[in-house]
Amino acid sequence: MRACMEQTLQRRSAGGPQRGALRAPKLAGQSSAAGGVTQPTLAHIGPDIPVRISSSQGLRNAAYLAQWLLAAQVLPVPRHSVAPGDLAAYCQSSLLRWMHQRTGELRCLTPCFDMQLLTYEEMPPMLNAPVNAVQRVLPAGVKLTWCMSDVAHWGIGCGLDYLEHTVPMLGTTILETLERKGLQVCPLFSPQVVMDEACGLYWLGEEDETMYLEEECGDDEAAKEAMRQNMVTRADIDAAFPAWTLALDKPCLSLRALASLRQHACPYVRKAGVLVLALRKLATTGQYMPEWEAPFIGYGAVLCWHDGDLAVRVSDDCAQMAWQGDSSDTVGEVVFPLAAPTALRRWMENMRPNLRAIGLIDRLLWHLTERE
């Protein structure tokens, strides 16, 4: 799995850091001697937080994270005192608070972040500089990953059917936008994903179940029919979703046509037009997407045409199959060196469009479910 390395403008040579290289922040109370390191200390952010923490690994790691977030000006000074044992949770909640300030209220999606300290040996090769034995086991960077803490089923079929019927290609445009933008910021289990997963799960990678049934049953037509009754077939998928939802190349309305919907007589159409237009105009990025080497199960939502339809069965089968072996639910990841806290600020700036897109996808899904 590939972790994106946020640019740090860091330069190294065999002789050590060059002029202008970014150096690790000097933690108060930290020894610079090669033979030993004292425990890091924290800025005074609360009367109940000791200046020097204990040697407990958990508290030590929390101190490194807090120092890094403070240096990046991300960790706000708490209004109330924070107990030493709650410091890691405070760091986590500060990052989530920043995220929600940019996504807005979320009703359908549940993004969450995880921070993990990396040693010098665990850092990407481009920053794995020669170090002594003591430094080798010390934290050198932070790996930040994000995923969805939960997945829910959302019935969007009635809403999209109505929009497609009222304004031809509007439903198609919305679904294409959800699929394309979602892939970069929050993958969704759409009808097209149902078809793709069915090919791999049930049909040996083919377009339908014909090849699988021939291999299992040979020329026994009665056995084929019996097996067909107990599996997901191409006919089942074609019956569950409109044909336009399964097309690989979906025709879309232009930005000008979407903008004109602000004048539409139907308020439901007007709001859908405003949301999808805003989402299509966002310059989202996929640079933090990992390369999934294991089956991906981290979908933000299962998009059903009707409550409890075929999408639920296929998504459950995918998850069950993935849980039997390796799987991944990571939507994005990035690695930062502790020596360059400003890299976190740059990443936060780069993530603004993606977080805005998550908020718009959430509002669009909620709007689609309101039509029954």
Please state, in angstroms and rounded to a whole number, the distance separating the CA atoms of residues 36 and 34.
Answer: 6
Over pLDDT 90: what percentage of the chain? 56
Q: What is the pLDDT of residue 84?
A: 59
Relative to beta strand 111-119, strand 301-304 is unpaired
DSSP reduced 3-state for 205: coil
- Residue 214 token pair: 């021939």
Please state, in angstroms and rounded to a whole number, the distance separating the CA atoms of residues 191 and 240.
Answer: 9
Q: What strand order describes the sheet that includes 4-5?
A: 4-5, 330-337, 139-148, 111-119
pLDDT tens figures, 47-101: 544 444 444 667 778 888 888 888 888 877 665 566 656 777 888 888 888 999 9
Task: Assign 131 a pLDDT band (cuts: 50, 70, 90).
Answer: low
State the average pLDDT over residues 155-182: 97
For residues 6 and 34, which has the higher predicted lDDT (pLDDT)? 6
pLDDT tens figures, 255-305: 999 999 999 999 999 999 999 999 999 999 999 998 877 888 899 999 999
pTM of whole model > 0.85? no
Q: What is the pLDDT of residue 326?
A: 81
DSSP reduced 3-state for 85: helix
Following DSSP, what letter does each residue of 324-340 receive, concatenated?
Answer: TS--B-EEEEEEEETT-
Following DSSP, what letter does each residue of 298-332 receive, concatenated?
Answer: --SEEEESSTT-HHHHHHHHHHHHHHTS--B-EEE
Please state, in angstroms and rounded to a whole number, the distance separating the CA atoms of residues 371 and 228.
Answer: 34
In single-letter form, the type of residue at position 306 comes to H
DSSP reduced 3-state for 139: strand
Question: Which residue in 151, 240, 231, 245 sits closest to 198, CA to CA?
Answer: 231
Residue burial 267-277, b: 16+ Cβ < 10 Å; e: rest: ebbebbbbbbb
Domain ranges across the chain: 4-148, 152-329+350-369
Q: What is the pLDDT of residue 2?
A: 40
State the average pLDDT over residues 357-371: 96
If you average pLDDT over every residue of the chain, what do you get? 82
For residues 325 and 237, which has the higher predicted lDDT (pLDDT)? 237
* Inter-CA distances, 43 with 49, 76, 93, 243, Å: 9, 12, 18, 60
State the average pLDDT over residues 232-249: 95
pLDDT tens figures, 313-323: 999 999 888 77
Please state, in angstroms and rounded to a whole number, the distance separating the CA atoms of residues 142 and 131.
Answer: 18
Please state, in angstroms and rounded to a whole number, the distance separating the CA atoms of residues 258 and 252.
Answer: 10
Which contacts (CB < 8 Å, 24+ apart) does range 67-71 have?
A: 67/25, 67/27, 67/40, 67/42, 67/43, 68/25, 68/142, 68/336, 68/338, 68/341, 68/344, 69/94, 69/95, 69/341, 69/344, 70/42, 70/43, 70/45, 71/25, 71/341
Q: Which are the contacts of 174, defined by CB distance < 8 A and separation ≥ 6?
A: 160, 163, 272, 276, 364, 368
Asked if 88 and 117 touch (Cβ cutoff 8 Å), the reply is no
Q: What is the pLDDT of residue 126?
A: 61
Q: What is the pLDDT of residue 55?
A: 47
In this model, does residue 169 exceed pLDDT 60?
yes
Asked if 115 and 92 touch (Cβ cutoff 8 Å), the reply is yes
pLDDT tens figures, 24-52: 333 333 433 333 334 444 454 555 444 44
Q: What is the pLDDT of residue 74?
A: 80
Q: Which are the contacts of 19, defined by CB distance < 8 A and separation ≥ 6?
A: none
- Residue 204 token pair: 């040996």
For residues 146 and 71, which has the higher predicted lDDT (pLDDT)? 146
Relative to beta strand 111-119, strand 16-17 is unpaired
The number of CA neighbours under 13 Å toward the Cβ of 274 is: 11
State the average pLDDT over residues 316-341: 87
Please state, in angstroms and rounded to a whole number, the distance separating the CA atoms of residues 173 and 159.
Answer: 13
Please state, in angstroms and rounded to a whole number, the distance separating the CA atoms of residues 21 and 210.
Answer: 62
State the average pLDDT over residues 364-369: 97
From the number of C-beta atoms within 10 Å of its C-beta (0-12, 13-18, 19+), residue 168 rates as exposed
